Structure 1
Amino acid sequence: MLLAMANSYAQPVLRTPDLAEAWRTAARLLEVADTSELEVDFDARVRSAEDLEPLMSLLPHADWWADGPGPGSSARGDSPMEHLPVRLSSWGMGPDMAGPLLAAVGASPAAIRWDFSGWPEAPDIGLGTGGTRGAYVTVCVNARDLDLTEPATDHTVFVHVKQVEAERAPWLAAQVGLRVIGELVMAPL
């Protein structure tokens, strides 16, 4: 299991209404990365039973907590259906979970983050190989931000880097034929 406990910084590189395009972009970015260790984390803000059921069938042991008034949570042994809306999270999953999770999200704002071993050397901008801290790609589904507080009808792909290596984000975007499209922001972990 990867243990990158420091904050990363993220910058958006693509915003699209086409979830398949967002998925393909994440895959192209992962081809640039050192994925010798690769895992997936998932986070969603689920408002309806229709969206919660398929996610809970994929993640029956996910952590969740009420995303509104009330103390409901998985830690208390409560039923998430009785505490909608809920925030649902699961960490350290195999990369094979990403596709099914993307398919199951429905209309809920959600984020799938790939954690891996590091970014490659970028000698043309003076950067060596990047380690696990700051080495992520995130697809925010139905959301414009990493906190999932800005619902949207499109999807945003972010690259994560160390703050001191902020110039790596535009370099990474260029490696897959894109450019950064927003500000570098601190990413929740």
Structure 2
Amino acid sequence: MSNSYAQPILRTANLSEGLRIVEQLLGIADTSELEIDVDVQVSSTPSLSTLMELLPNADWWAKGDSDGSKEYGDDPTAHLPIRMRGWAMSPDIVEPFIKSLGDSPAAVRWDFEGWPEAPEVGLGYGGSRGSFVTLCVNARDLDLEKPATDHTVFVHVKQVEAKRAPWLATQVGLTVIGDLEMAPY
């Protein structure tokens, strides 16, 4: 499995606007198979409780000097702040996940079958490898290391199809707003 490459196309304080752009992108993608991955940095017990109920099977590990993790059967409340990650979930998870975040930095990634042909830039159908959309909530980067009060939408493509990212942005009335970078997962 190789990493995708991601490029930001929207930064907004309006979360609904970010979700609207994601929906537009999904509208042109092949979503015959669609799953959701989530990633969140959790610093408070109330947020953790809500997220643990919502994502009971999520992996988690301590951030900073602590070394606790789900793998060792540790209690996550004893190891805050933690990072939680859930894989291959139903799209129904998106709304309750976002509502549970508060100001925690998080990412929602839509994983689907592929991007459409982009003949204007010489590209055929973009298969499932490298075809994602990520909405970073309360963060400006895919690693969730740059907390923010705004939200960023990234399109993911194969590195050899880098021209597809600006093409995708134009399909939803936008332009790229940053560099193409390797996605962390």
- TM interval, short-chain normalised: over 0.9
Number of residue-to-residue matches in the alignment: 185
1:132 to 101, 116, 128: 128
Query: Are residues 1:70 and 2:54 paired?
Result: no
Query: Are residues 1:42 and 2:42 paired?
Result: no
2:21 to 11, 25, 30: 25
Query: Are residues 1:163 and 2:155 paired?
Result: no
Are the counterparts in 2 of residues 114 and 136 from structure 1 also a CA contact under 8 Å?
yes
1:12 to 5, 8, 33: 8
Let me know the Cα RMSD of the aligned residues.
0.8
Query: Structure 2 counterpart of 1:186, which letter?
Result: M
Partner of 1:142: 138
> 1-side partners of 2:43 and 2:113: how far apart?
34
- TM-score of the superposition, structure 1-length normalised? 0.96
Moved over 4 A (4+): none
Matches within 5 A, 1:163-182: 163-182=159-178
Query: Structure 2 counterpart of 1:74, which letter?
Result: K
Q: Which stretches in structure 1 are left out of the alignment for 5+ residues?
A: none
> 1-side partners of 2:18 and 2:164: how far apart?
20
**1:165 offset after TM fit, Å?**
0.6
> 1-side partners of 2:50 and 2:20: how far apart?
23
Aligned identity (percent) is 64
Single out whichever of 100-109 and 153-162 deviates more from structure 2.
100-109
Q: Deviations over 1:157-180 (max 9, x none)?
A: 000001111010010011011111
Q: Deviations over 1:5-53 (max 9, x none)?
A: 2100000000001111111111111101000010000001111112212
Query: Structure 2 counterpart of 1:65, which letter?
Result: W
> 1-side partners of 2:75 and 2:22: how far apart?
33
> 1-side partners of 2:170 and 2:45: how far apart?
40
**1:87 offset after TM fit, Å?**
0.5
> 2-side partners of 1:8 and 1:122: how far apart?
18
